[in-house]
Copies of this chain bind each other. A is one copy, B any other.
């Protein structure tokens, strides 16, 4: 195939929407992938669909996966509250092995599509301290992916692209705006309501709000 295909992990939040806009700008035929994994903040799935539609991806897929059968996180276990203040170390909103699981499924789809690039919006600057957002994790995943797959073995090689890795939240917002992204479509809050309105208190809301302030632009987020 002559077109350059990419799979983009699209959560519906600010970071992954920016990554999708960037992949589009680089000329990729984009296939976006979201997960219905029993997350509290289900309105992010609606946000992902809005963003995928607005940016006219080739295909948007939602894979259902009952991670709440596994538990262990405030994001998937309703018996654990989402904290309102930043914590020391790795927070309770960490979902065990989440990016590993998501990248694995993206890898499977990429192999079927003949896509070589998988984009993920992880960021190691203004982030929540999740281990699976660090560059050393992304590199180890890429290495493993090229041993795991038929395409990898045949030497075609997958690349895990994390273009936001070293950017501040303000820089991410500025990049998205340059690509014409409407951040009003996105939802970042860990406990957004069914209309996509944000709490303004959780870690994710705090980082997002600081991003708009840092970028010197109006925050389009609706708060409840």
User: Chain A interface (Cβ within 8 Å of chain B)?
Assistant: 61, 63-67, 69-72, 90, 94-101, 103-105, 107-109, 111-112, 131-132, 134, 136-137, 140-141, 143-145, 147-150, 152-153
Q: Are A131 and B153 in contact (CB under 8 A)?
A: yes
**Of B61, B63, B95, B100, which one neighbours A144 at CB under 8 angstroms?**
B100
- Offer 23 A-B interface pairs, CB within 8 angstroms, sorted by A: A61-B69, A63-B66, A64-B65, A70-B108, A70-B112, A72-B108, A72-B111, A90-B150, A90-B153, A95-B108, A96-B108, A96-B150, A97-B149, A100-B144, A100-B145, A101-B108, A104-B104, A131-B149, A131-B152, A134-B147, A140-B140, A140-B144, A140-B148
The CA-CA distance from A179 to B100 in the complex, in Å, is 34
Taking chain A's interface residues, is the majority helix, strand, or loop, or is none over half, making it mixed? helix
Residue of B with least CB distance to A137: B147
Q: Are A137 and B132 in contact (CB under 8 A)?
A: no
Residue of B with least CB distance to A64: B66
How many copies make up the complex? Answer: 2
Chain B residues with CB below 8 A from A100, complex form: 104, 107-108, 144-145, 148-149
Chain B residues with CB below 8 A from A108, complex form: 67, 70, 72, 95-98, 100-101
Residue of B with least CB distance to A114: B72
By Cβ-Cβ distance, the 9 closest A-B pairs, closest first, are: A72-B112, A97-B108, A140-B144, A96-B111, A96-B108, A101-B104, A100-B104, A97-B107, A137-B147
The CA-CA distance from A108 to B66 in the complex, in Å, is 12
Residue of B with least CB distance to A71: B112
Chain B residues with CB below 8 A from A99, complex form: 148
Chain B residues with CB below 8 A from A144, complex form: 100, 137, 140-141, 143-144
Q: Are B69 and A63 in contact (CB under 8 A)?
A: yes
Residue of B with least CB distance to A135: B147
